[in-house]
Structure 1
Amino acid sequence: MGQLHVGNVDIEIDVEGFLCHAEDWNEEVAEALAAQEGIDHLGREQRDIIMFMRAYHRKFDNFPIMRYVCKNVHASTADCVTEQFCNPMVAWKIAGLPKPPNVFFNSFDGKKYFPNPFY
């Protein structure tokens, strides 16, 4: 377990950097989580992606198909999540959502990530 300092508050995160308490999330926390992942500032498309992921999780309690995310945020490509965050799990983490069980992504080049169905 670790701590993420946001403003005057310490937010509890797990060893992988996911929030321990989803109710701690807000846009300021998202920026701090992004900074931890090496993203200096969340742009509009990145914010749209994480807000869609939050809404999807709230409705279906599951991890969305990446192309579905891109379609619903009206992105110009079907790979918007990997273009904006490299690893889709980073977007999920910044969205303040719990680590989904049995969802893993692999990359052969460190630039494009694919769901691994063998976990």
Structure 2
Amino acid sequence: MLLENQPKTVMLDEAGYLVHFEDWSEDVARMLAAREGIPELTPERLNMLRFIRDYYKAYDFFPIVRSICRNVSEPKDCVQEKFINALIAWKIAGLPHPEEPLVSLLEAGQSPG
């Protein structure tokens, strides 16, 4: 599946996750957010996405949801408030498609780790 992003087209897998981590940009994030029903990426949401990406790049794992909120100075339920659930935040942040046990955990609003 292709996501048309000027001046470049990025590839998504069958579930809508970025195929290549390095293809992410704020413009790509906005298009991914729109596909997930999030009409606007506010500065707060973008700040959270950057933290998620930086954490994943450093540790090769999704951060504990509470730590996302704490590190971006947001209330403890910020991920659910801003993105519906952590799985949507994962997808919009351009992280690779997670394994099924983690998908179920994130969809349920639970945190890994």
Q: TM-score, normalised by structure 1?
A: 0.84
The whole-number CA distance in structure 2 between the counterparts of 1:93 and 1:38 is 12
Q: Considering only CA atoms, is the larger Rg found in Structure 1 or Structure 2?
A: 1
CA-CA distance at 1:87 after TM superposition: 1.4
Give percent identity, aligned residues only: 41
Any unmatched runs of 5+ in structure 1? 108-112
Report whether the alignment pairs 1:16 with 2:12. Answer: no
Q: TM-score, normalised by structure 2?
A: 0.88
Q: Which residue of the partner structure matches residue 94 of structure 2? A: 96
The superposition leaves residues 75-116 of structure 1 with CA deviations (integer Å, 9 ceiling, x where unpaired) of: 0x2110011000111111111111233412244xxxxx2248
Aligned length: 110
Q: Which residue of the partner structure matches residue 31 of structure 2? A: 32
Going from structure 1 to structure 2, the CA distance change for 1:23 and 1:116 (only over 3 Å counts) comes to: closer
By relative contact order (CA 8 Å, sep 6+), the higher-ranking structure is 2
Q: Which residue of the partner structure matches residue 74 of structure 1? A: 73
- More moved, 60-69 vs 8-17: 8-17
Any unmatched runs of 5+ in structure 2? none
RMSD: 1.7
SS at 1:29's partner residue?
helix
CA-CA distance at 1:22 after TM superposition: 1.1
The whole-number CA distance in structure 2 between the counterparts of 1:94 and 1:31 is 8
Normalized per residue, which structure has more helix? 2
Going from structure 1 to structure 2, the CA distance change for 1:116 and 1:96 (only over 3 Å counts) comes to: closer
Q: Which residue of the partner structure matches residue 87 of structure 1? A: 85
